[in-house]
Structure 1
Amino acid sequence: MTQEKAIVVFSGGQDSTTCLFWAKERFREVEAVTFQYGQRHKLEIECAAQIAKEQNLKHHILDMSLLNQLAPNALTRQDIAIEEKQGELPTTFVDGRNLLFLSFAAVLAKQVGAKHIVTGVCETDFSGYPDCRDVFIKSLNVTLNLAMDYPFVIDTPLMWLSKAETWQLADQLGVFDYVREKTLTCYNGIMADGCGECPACRLRNKGLQEFLALKGGSRPS
């Protein structure tokens, strides 16, 4: 049964695209919001816009470039290497990103009459990002409701899924091939299966191979 209206926080990557199709099955009306924060690859914005166009969804692109000025990181600065060190946050972590993105998504949601905000954050395969944790999402949900006196619900369909289970969800939604071929997860800006070497590609591809193994090799790798 479809419900009300939802805003999907949408980057054009595997997770948010899977969430987009999840939302389309559950809500009467869906809109997408993408944030421009000085990403290395303009292709990420173009990819999100193309998917939204193909799915006939209203797509909002909001300027969050101040975030790049406040929190230098490997996703926005060519002079910062993409690194993961034991006991430290990856250099791809952007302080405050999900806090700001979800807050601005909530402001937009209230203006367009949406009560649901859908985001692809995940605590199972979350690379150590503190703003992908369930406790943060629940806390922010309460704060947003109090701040705007509005009954927001932050939906996190991937919160407890592994990457293999996220691929499985895309398959269950009938969009496995679409997600695999048309999304951009790679930190080096390479579509679909990506460069295969950056942390995002390794995580995505590990989950993909695990899912394909569970499927018994019925799909080409």
Structure 2
Amino acid sequence: MKKAVVLLSGGLDSTTCMAVAKSEGYQLYPVSFDYGQRHNRELALAKKVATYFEAKDHKIFTIQNVGGSALTDSNIDVPEYEGDGEIPVTYVPARNILFLSYALGYAEVIGAEAIYIGVSSVDYSGYPDCRPEFIEAFQQVVNVGTAAGVKGKGIDIKTPLMKLSKADTVKLGLELGAPYHLTTSCYKGGEEACGVCDSCVLRLKGFEEAGGEDPIPYKSK
């Protein structure tokens, strides 16, 4: 059976990617990361999502926290949604470069054909490592910098959400039975999502426009 590594954060987008990968016939090998984020709630939920999808294996890698982000430094406040087009303080330096590098090494070891990552360039916070240009560049790294790439076996970086709005992502996930009740998107990591950070606002907007009801609790909507 063909194998896929899925970057799984415990959030809406990565959970949707799990559902897509499963629907496309892959055996699932999700990977999650402890990178010094403010809370471990997302990792706890990632474990539940992996179990829900009956993943073959679920790796959690620990990466040294380099700071410089509101998501990894308690001295930097998580801002409310601004949507001004600027790269927000919730950007974690080089995060997807690191995540994909770990996922790539793991994919080579297990003989996976694909790596799924839930990035989108439509409804997103403006992070540079979520754009098509970044994925295209990393795919080139895969092709020339790995044994699999040099031998022509290839490992495809799959971004099924890249051109989807958050509403379209929600619709896709609901169609595929994604367990959104097991997810969190809030940057603050509470039992109840804050409803006002970038991630919460975009998630709520997606459910509203999709005509669905978000199954997780919020302090404010």
**TM-score tier (shorter):** 0.7 to 0.9
Secondary structure (helix, strand or coil) at the match of 2:201 reads helix
Residue 119 of structure 1 corresponds to which residue in structure 2? 117
Secondary structure (helix, strand or coil) at the match of 2:92 reads coil
Give yes or no for contact 1:184–1:190 (8 Å, CA) kept in 2.
no
Q: Which amino acid aligns with 2:75?
A: D
After TM superposition, the score normalised by the length of structure 1 is 0.87
Residue 61 of structure 2 corresponds to which residue in structure 1? 62
Residue 77 of structure 2 corresponds to which residue in structure 1? 81
Give yes or no for contact 1:103–1:144 (8 Å, CA) kept in 2.
no
Provide the aligned length of Structure 1 versus Structure 2.
207
Structure 1: gaps (5+ residues)? none
Question: Which string of whole-angstrom CA distances, capped at 9 and with x for unpartnered residues, describes residues 73-108 of structure 1?
Answer: 101111101235845310000111111111110000
- The structure 2 residue matched to 1:102, chosen from 92, 97, 100, is 100
The answer to which structure has the higher helix fraction is 1
Secondary structure (helix, strand or coil) at the match of 2:101 reads helix
Matched, 1:201 2:200: yes
Question: Which string of whole-angstrom CA distances, capped at 9 and with x for unpartnered residues, describes residues 26-70 of structure 1?
Answer: 133111000110111111111101221232211000111x2x22x
Secondary structure (helix, strand or coil) at the match of 1:187 reads coil
- The structure 1 residue matched to 2:168, chosen from 165, 178, 182, is 165
Q: What is the CA-CA distance between 1:160 and the residue it aligns to?
A: 0.3
Residue 186 of structure 1 corresponds to which residue in structure 2? 186
Q: Which amino acid aligns with 2:155?
A: F
Please report the RMSD computed on the Cα atoms of aligned residues, expressed in angstroms: 2.0
How far apart in 2 are the matches of 1:126 and 1:87? Answer: 10
How far apart in 2 are the matches of 1:187 and 1:87? Answer: 19
Structure 2: gaps (5+ residues)? 149-153, 216-220
Q: Sequence identity of aligned pairs in percent?
A: 42
Give yes or no for contact 2:85–2:126 (8 Å, CA) kept in 1.
no
Q: Which amino acid aligns with 1:186?
A: C
Select the structure with the greater relative contact order (CA < 8 A; seq sep ≥ 6): 2
